[in-house]
Amino acid sequence: NAGVTQTPKFQVLKTGQSMTLQCAQDMNHEYMSWYRQDPGMGLRLIHYSVGAGITDQGEVPNGYNVSRSTTEDFPLRLLSAAPSQTSVYFCASSLVNTDTQYFGPGTRLTVL
């Protein structure tokens, strides 16, 4: 199994540009989540999904959209990037009724 994969690893955007961060898992996990990590801070939850077709907001959802059309994929969309969205983004997944999340390697995003 590849586990949780994320693309791209690095991205630089200009303010106002849009992009999609990709996340995929091959472990047949129902739960998937997106977190952001800012320097010197822990991870903060952006959006999460408990299964295909079901998503909900986390602690810091503003400026981000998600969708879950398949069990495997959970893309995160930035519609109009802002410098405040400069961060490292982590995708995670877990089995139903467990709390042990498996994290991807992260995407480092810089918005100029």
Partner 1 sequence: GESVGLHLPTLSVQEGDNSIINCAYSNSASDYFIWYKQESGKGPQFIIDIRSNMDKRQGQRVTVLLNKTVKHLSLQIAATQPGDSAVYFCADPGGLAAGGTSYGKLTFGQGTILTVHP
User: Is the N-terminal amide bond of 8 cis, ω within 30° of 0?
Assistant: yes
**Contacts of partner 1 in 13-52 (CB under 8 A):** 31-33, 35, 40-45, 48-50
CB of 99 to partner 1, least distance (A): 5
Rounded least distance, CB 103 to partner 1, Å: 3
Query: CB 80 → partner 1: shortest distance, Å?
Result: 26
Pair of tokens at residue 57: 């907001």
Out of 58, 61, 63, 75, the residue judged to bind partner 1 by CB under 8 A: 58
Residues of this chain that bind partner 1 (CB under 8 A)? 4, 31-33, 35, 40-45, 48-50, 58-59, 90, 92-94, 96-106
